[in-house]
Structures are given as structure tokens and as C-alpha cells.
């Protein structure tokens, strides 16, 4: 049985054309800086982000972690939204690997409360952790794929930079933000010091993220990547998939957004679920109505309709549309919500 997999956009699989591009990749030893396909992907990522340099890493978690490591010192504090990915979904890496504490800040729909941010940036006090980095996320996963307004990014960066703090944007889905907002990735990233973006979510590559920033920051990050066992050898096979994704899978993200909005409309009209937040990109968050639990609904949709969904947190089910979800798949999902009964 073929399932319609809506658990995450990480479940995308390389297309046949992408696989052919991988087979034809020119490769070398990236640890020695001699893989031409990796080198060209990094140069391309720097240009896309408007930064001086970029580095190819295995995952968004590694990219975020390295951004933290090279812009903080052990004992420092990182300020971020209370629902931010590094705080909830990166296995405690900031503390365990990089020796920093996280101060979660309140906010609405992925945006930081600016008064809380201002208050959290305190002068040096001997017995307190010093904040040195602010992290933003665009789009914001736990807020429902919301696009962070550019004015908010600028305001956060202004506050942080005025106080001597750096700003990192977790742009795992920044291409979704770019397509939805009409802003280029470089425009989104411009106020921040560093940005990371993922190739293996909506863009459909099998693996890989890029960390982009000033040349000296990326040079230090490259050394820490090696310390973490993240040095590549003939990684051009994978980087070629990233090139293909950037060539062919960015503009089509509009289809994912359209499918997600259609599914959200079906959820609003259904008898078994309630939409939690408006849909802006490819993420739909909803809850079940009284009388049916999350796991009951997830199980029924799998067994009765061949649709895979998952909880993003207790009481919240997340649907993510992506490259492998066709228009007919979206039709089937909408029909399933229309047909489902308590």
C-alpha cells in the first residue's frame, strides 16, 4: 500500500533526475578542500544568502550547533523563542556539546517579545550567564510554518547588535519563507550575522544543510565541524543533489503551500479536527475534537485512508506538505477529513 506521508518534509525522496545528477557528480576530498561540487555548492549558498562564505554540513542541527559554537563561549547564554528548534528538538546539544545555556523568551507566532528580549540582555554580572547570541527561526516550525515579518527580524537584530550580541537565523525552511513573502533569501538574511538553510526538507535532497556567514566565522566553524567528526570525503555525490534541488525545487514550493492551505480548509470543515493557526506555508497544526484522541485519529487515518500524520507535541497534530505530496494526494487528504466521523 502506498501511504501519503505527511509526517514531515524530511520524508522526501530524491527524484530520478536528482539521482542521475548525483551519479554524474565530480568529486574529491572535501576535508582537503578538493571536492569541486561541494566547493561550488558552498559558493552558491554564500551568494544566495548574501554572506561571505558558507559550509556544507550533514544537518540543520549541526548547522545551528556550529553557529552557536563559533559565536559564543562556554558559559554564555543564547536567547531564543520558547518554542525554538534548538531548545526543543536538538537533543540538548547547545548545553551538552557547546556549554551554553538557553534562555527561552515569550513571543507570539514565532516572533520574540521585544520587551522581553531587551530585558534579557543585561550588563555583565559575575554570577550570571552573559547573553551573547540571539536565535531566530524562519519559517517557524512550532508556530505552524509562519513567516517571520522582516520588520521583526530587523528589530531583533537592531536590539541585539546595539548590545554587542550576534544573531543567527535558523532558516531550515527559509526558502518557504522566501517564496511566501516574495523576499530573497539574501534579503531575509541581511540583518543577521549567520543563517543556516536545509536542502533535505522541502527541497528534496537526501541530506545536507549550509551554514552561511562572515568568512572568519565559517573558517572557525569548519574547524569545529572537523572536531565533531563532520568532515566529508567525496561528498560531491550529495552536494550534487543540493545543486539539483536549488535548480529545480525552489519555485515549486508554492504548490506545497497551496496544498497545505487546501487541507487546512478541509480540517476547518471537518467533524474530527480543529485548525489551530492560520496556514502560511507548508505546515498545518490542528487538534482533535472532544471524543477522539490524537493517537486514535492518527491510527484511523493510516488504516482507513492510507495517510500518515504525527503529533508535533502533546495535543497538537502536524501535517507537512512537500515534494512527494501531489495534487491528487492533497485531494485525497481533503476527502478523508470530509468523510471522517467521530
Per the prediction, the chain carries an average pLDDT of 96
Residue 235's domain comprises: 14-248
* pTM (global) more than 0.85: yes
Distance CA 165, CA 160 (A): 5
- The greatest distance separating any two alpha carbons of the chain, rounded to the nearest whole angstrom, comes to 62
**Domain edge (last residue) among 224, 248, 272:** 248
Q: Give the CATH number for residue 71.
A: 3.40.640.10
Distance CA 171, CA 95 (A): 21
* CB-CB contact of 284 with 317 (8 Å): no
Q: Does some domain include residue 5?
A: no
Q: Does some domain include residue 205?
A: yes
The verdict on 231 and 317 lying in the same domain is: no
The verdict on 240 and 317 lying in the same domain is: no
Q: Does some domain include residue 299?
A: yes
Q: Give the CATH number for residue 315.
A: 3.90.1150.10
Q: What is the pLDDT of residues 118-129, one digit of tens each?
A: 999 987 777 778
Strands (E) located in the chain:
4-5, 53-57, 77-81, 101-105, 107-108, 111-112, 131-137, 166-171, 194-198, 209-213, 273-275, 283-288, 307-308, 310-313, 316-320
Q: What's the pLDDT score for residue 127?
A: 74
Q: Does some domain include residue 3?
A: no
Q: Which residues contact 176 (CB under 8 A, 6 or more apart)?
A: 139, 145, 147, 202, 253, 256, 257, 281, 282
Is the Cα dihedral 45, 34, 208, 157 positive or negative? Answer: negative
The verdict on 302 and 274 lying in the same domain is: yes
Q: What's the pLDDT score for residue 52?
A: 98
The verdict on 138 and 257 lying in the same domain is: no
The verdict on 222 and 290 lying in the same domain is: no
**Domain edge (last residue) among 230, 248, 266:** 248
The verdict on 126 and 159 lying in the same domain is: yes
Q: Does some domain include residue 6?
A: no
Q: 125: exposed, middle or buried (C-beta count within 10 Å: 0-12, 13-18, 19+)? A: exposed
The verdict on 22 and 139 lying in the same domain is: yes
Chunk the chain into consecutive blocks of 10 residues (it has 342) and report each block's average pLDDT, rounded to whole numbers. Answer: 95 97 97 97 98 98 97 97 92 91 96 96 79 97 97 98 97 98 98 98 97 98 95 96 98 98 97 97 97 95 97 95 98 97 83
* DSSP β-bridge partners for residue 170: 137, 196
Q: What is the pLDDT of residues 297-328, one digit of tens each?
A: 999 999 999 999 999 989 999 999 999 999 99
Q: Does some domain include residue 232?
A: yes
Instruction: Give the strand pairing for 283-288 and 273-275.
Output: antiparallel
The verdict on 136 and 213 lying in the same domain is: yes
Q: What are phi and psi of 158, to 5 degrees?
A: -60, -45
Q: Does some domain include residue 320?
A: yes
Give the chain's length.
342
The verdict on 49 and 62 lying in the same domain is: yes
* DSSP β-bridge partners for residue 78: 102, 133
The verdict on 128 and 244 lying in the same domain is: yes
The verdict on 243 and 184 lying in the same domain is: yes
Q: What's the pLDDT score for residue 75?
A: 95
Q: What's the pLDDT score for residue 123?
A: 74
Q: What's the pLDDT score for residue 129?
A: 85
In the chain, DSSP finds a helix count (H) and a strand count (E) of 14, 15
3-class secondary structure, 13: coil
Distance CA 38, CA 35 (A): 5
Distance CA 264, CA 205 (A): 26
Q: Which residues contact 302 (CB under 8 A, 6 or more apart)?
A: 3, 308, 309
**Distance linking the first and last C-alpha atoms of the chain:** 25
Helix %, strand %, coil % for the chain, to 5?
45, 20, 35
Residue written as grid cell 533535505: 200
3-class secondary structure, 53: strand
Distance CA 99, CA 74 (A): 4
Q: What's the pLDDT score for residue 125?
A: 72
Q: Does some domain include residue 155?
A: yes
Q: What's the pLDDT score for residue 188?
A: 98
Q: What is the pLDDT of residues 326-335, one digit of tens each?
A: 999 999 999 9
**Domain edge (last residue) among 215, 248, 281:** 248
Q: Which residues contact 261 (CB under 8 A, 6 or more apart)?
A: 279
What is the number of domains present in the chain?
2
The verdict on 46 and 116 lying in the same domain is: yes
Q: What's the pLDDT score for residue 54?
A: 98
| Sheet strand arrangement including 131-137 | 53-57, 209-213, 194-198, 166-171, 131-137, 77-81, 101-105
Q: What's the pLDDT score for residue 330?
A: 98
Amino acid at each position: 500500500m502506498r501511504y501519503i506521508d505527511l509526517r514531515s518534509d524530511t520524508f522526501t525522496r530524491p527524484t530520478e533526475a536528482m539521482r542521475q545528477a548525483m551519479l554524474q557528480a565530480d568529486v574529491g576530498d572535501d576535508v582537503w578542500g578538493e571536492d569541486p561540487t561541494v566547493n561550488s555548492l558552498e559558493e552558491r549558498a554564500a551568494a544566495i544568502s548574501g554572506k561571505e562564505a558558507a559550509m556544507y554540513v550533514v544537518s540543520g542541527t549541526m548547522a545551528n550547533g556550529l553557529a552557536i559554537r563559533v559565536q559564543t563561549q562556554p558559559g554564555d547564554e543564547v536567547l531564543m523563542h520558547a518554542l525554538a528548534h534548538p531548545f526543543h528538538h536538538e537533543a540538548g546539544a547547545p548545553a551538552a556539546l557547546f556549554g551554553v545555556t538557553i534562555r527561552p523568551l515569550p513571543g507570539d507566532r514565532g516572533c520574540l517579545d521585544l520587551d522581553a528580549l531587551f530585558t534579557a540582555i543585561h550588563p555583565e554580572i559575575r554570577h550570571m550567564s552573559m547573553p551573547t547570541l540571539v536565535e531566530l527561526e524562519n519559517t517557524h516550525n512550532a508556530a505552524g510554518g509562519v513567516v517571520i515579518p522582516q520588520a521583526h527580524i530587523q528589530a531583533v537584530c537592531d536590539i541585539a547588535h546595539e548590545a554587542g550580541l550576534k544573531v543567527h537565523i535558523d532558516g531550515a525552511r527559509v526558502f518557504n519563507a522566501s517564496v511566501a513573502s516574495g523576499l530573497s533569501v539574501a534579503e531575509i538574511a541581511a540583518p543577521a550575522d549567520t543563517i543556516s538553510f536545509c536542502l533535505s526538507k522541502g527541497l528534496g535532497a537526501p541530506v545536507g544543510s549550509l551554514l552561511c556567514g562572515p568568512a572568519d566565522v565559517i573558517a572557525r566553524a569548519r574547524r569545529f565541524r572537523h572536531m565533531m567528526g563532520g568532515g566529508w570525503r567525496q561528498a560531491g555525490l550529495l552536494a550534487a543533489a543540493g545543486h539539483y534541488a536549488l535548480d529545480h525545487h525552489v519555485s515549486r514550493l508554492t504548490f506545497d503551500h497551496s496544498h497545505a492551505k487546501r487541507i487546512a480548509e478541509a480540517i476547518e470543515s471537518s467533524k474530527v479536527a480543529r485548525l489551530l493557526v492560520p496556514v502560511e506555508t507548508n505546515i498545518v497544526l490542528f487538534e482533535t475534537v472532544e471524543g477522539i484522541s490524537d493517537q486514535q485519529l492518527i491510527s484511523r487515518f493510516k488504516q482507513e485512508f492510507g495517510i500518515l500524520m504525527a503529533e508535533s507535541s502533546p495535543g497538537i497534530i502536524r501535517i507537512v506538505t512537500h515534494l512527494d505530496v501531489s495534487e491528487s494526494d492533497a485531494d485525497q487528504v481533503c476527502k478523508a477529513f470530509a468523510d471522517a466521523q467521530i
